Amino acid sequence: MNGVEAWVPRLQAAAASDRANACEALGLLGDKKAVGPLVHALRDLDGDVRAAACEAMGRLQDPRAIPPLVSMLRDDDETVRGEAFAALLAIGQARAAALPLDLLAGEDPRNPSLQATQIVWPADLEAIKLLDESLADGDPEVRIGAAYALGALGIVGSFNALAWLLTEDPDLDVRAAAAAAIGQLGRAGDRRAETMLVQAWERVRGDGEVAVDVVRALVELGAKGAFFVFEQALHHADERVRQLATLGLAGSGDPAATPRLCRALRDPHTGVRRNAAAALARLGDPLAGDKLIQAATPDEAAEVRAAIGEALSRMPLDRVQPALTRALASQQAAERAAAAYLMGHVHDGEGLRRALQDAVPAVRKAAALSLGNAGRPADRQPLEAALGDPEWRVRVAAAEGLRRLGDPAAIPALARRAADDHPVVRNAITLAQRALEAPR
């Protein structure tokens, strides 16, 4: 006896760990006959057992488990409530694929039509009705779980109730859940979702978590009519909202997004600056070239500089190259170093060779590293010459550039410099030699 019958008696074991293991095993079996015994296990005095039973029911994805799971959202144990919530989401996502959402679109979840009762499984209808009723429950944990589950199921009949929660519920977490659920309904095809989220923005923008979920939902919907929301969200106090706003502007396809994203390159938060650069890469607007170059200063975070390089590499070279040339002639050494770094992304060997003669070591260092990234055989000799630069940091960059270039013809030049006075340079040369001598 290896199925459900073998594990049910173990739900009565003396040790709580054995009872929890039995719940886990029942969930892994995938046999829906286990739902009844697992519902019974929800009454266990041990929180770990109750949590394991919730998790197991989430695995089984049976709508009959939804009512008892909703009741577990009131459990005193936070872990149990979390597992019940996760299980409700898992069941909702799984059952959504099996439900005739087109048929249910015009249905009142609490009073389904005769046609619906003839087509939809009774267990699904009962679960949907309970979840819809739970949107008015006095416990915010229950309202949150019901909102997310209805969103996962795609029950557009609950739209109005969710819209009310989004703007009127006194609990911020409930309002955030309603925003996320409305976004899911929008992805399920409800065209009212975008309009509702945009209208709600003015009322919820001051509430951090709600604002996050409203903007995220609009981004995921690819909302074309939410430009002003994304524009305002760029100035929100919460950096998560600002990061999401950059994604929304990138997806808007509106040319007016470019100057706003360029300003976001100066945001105090690294993630916002990185996302702004990535958004500009997606837009591919060459008008952003100068601002991107100016933002790629040597003291900028590596992830932001990489995103800027990616953005420039996606733009027409004949528009980017003049901007890099202008930057390389700047009076500001930081801007020249930024140009040198970015020239490696667009494989501008000629510009990099000029940068390698710059009076400022930081510019020469950036040029040496970028020449290696450019990957042109003709760049080997300038890098070999840079191994004799008076600044040790430039010599290190030259050795690393030769390693990145990957041309074994550089080995003799590296060997001639192997006795450099600076230990860091000697180490860089050794590493480059080993990399170039290794079998390819």
Asked whether this chain's domains 233-315 and 332-338+348-440 adopt the same fold, the reply is yes
For domain 332-338+348-440, the CATH class is mainly alpha
* Alpha helices (H) in 314-391, listed in sequence order: 317-328, 333-343, 349-355, 361-374, 380-386
C-beta separation of 218 from 230 below 8 A: yes
| Residue 188 exposure: Cα atoms within 13 Å on the Cβ side | 27
| CA–CA gap between residue 157 and residue 102 (Å, rounded) | 11
| CA–CA gap between residue 9 and residue 169 (Å, rounded) | 44
Mean pLDDT by 10 residues, the chain (440 residues): 86 96 95 95 96 96 94 96 95 82 69 65 84 95 95 91 95 95 92 94 88 95 92 95 95 89 95 93 83 87 88 81 88 90 84 92 93 83 95 96 92 95 96 87
- Contacting residues for 167 by C-beta, under 8 A, at least 6 apart: 175, 200, 203, 204
| Residue 72 exposure: Cα atoms within 13 Å on the Cβ side | 34
What are the structure tokens assigned to 425, written together? 């340079």
CATH number for the domain formed by residue range(s) 233-315? 1.25.10.10
CATH number for the domain formed by residue range(s) 61-223? 1.25.10
What are the structure tokens assigned to 398, written together? 């030259």
13 backbone dihedrals φ, ψ, rounded to 5°: -60, 155
| CA–CA gap between residue 336 and residue 357 (Å, rounded) | 12
Other beta carbons less than 10 A from residue 209's beta carbon: 17
Q: What is the pTM (predicted TM-score) of this model?
A: 0.78
pLDDT at 284: 80
Domain ranges (residues) in the chain:
61-223, 233-315, 332-338+348-440
108 dihedral zone (left: phi>0; alpha: psi -120 to 50; beta) = beta
